[in-house]
Each structure stands twice: as structure tokens, then as C-alpha cells.
Amino acid sequence: MWESAAADRDGIVAGSHSHKGDTSLPIRTAQRAIICLMNIRVECYSGYRGDETPQAVWIGERRIGVAEILDRWLAPDHRYFKFRGDDQGIYIIRNDVESLAWQITFYQDSETKPGPVRGPAGGTA
């Protein structure tokens, strides 16, 4: 089931969907990235201060290693991490501070370049 998302730190907002049983419907943005909320499993490293840093993300049976943490920030209810995966994709994941559940909120594949979405006949959508 998809859930509603607030704007993340980069100002990207996911829509609100309730389509039971189907997690394959992406939301397209002007940056040509896919935004959705999906529960995931995350392997973390706990540093000397006790902060958990993602080391790998499991989406279904697929494991994506964290090649580089690009950014991290706190919101009132969540901790966010933006990283480049070992598949060269860009991900934003978040951790709910109360339930400790992890979700992926943003994905951009390595071949998609940021820019305007083009509609029919080369016009901007």
C-alpha cells in the first residue's frame, strides 16, 4: 500500500496513493525520478555514538550496498539518508523514530539525467 509523503529536504513531494497489493506504480517528477514509499529492510552499522548508518538496503530479495552516503538529515518524525547504491542509483531512505520502520522514499537510476520531462512532440510536460 502506498502512503502519503511530505516534501523531503530537496523539496520533492510524493503523491498519495492507496492501491492495495500493487507496489509497482511509480510517481514521476520533473526531475525524472521515481518517488514512492515502500517498506524495506536495512542493514546498519552502529558507530561509536550509537548512530545507525545504513550499509545495505534490501528491496524484496535484492540487496543494494551503500557505496556512498551523500547526505543525511533529521525531521521531527524521521531520520533521512541520501546515498549512492552499488548499482549507481541514488536513493533516499527514512527511518521512523518511533516504530523504527525503514522506507524508501526516492530512487533515481544511474542512467536517468535530471532535467525537464518531455511530453509529446518534444514539448515540456
Q: How far apart are CA 93 and CA 81, in angstroms?
A: 5
Within a domain: residue 68?
yes
Within a domain: residue 32?
no
Q: Whole-model pTM?
A: 0.62
Q: Which three cell numbers stand for residue 74?
A: 533529521
Q: How far apart are CA 19 and CA 85, in angstroms?
A: 28
pLDDT in tens, 44-93: 987 766 568 999 999 989 999 999 999 999 999 999 999 999 999 999 99
pLDDT in tens, 56-65: 999 989 999 9
Range of the domain at 73: 39-110
Domain count, the chain: 1
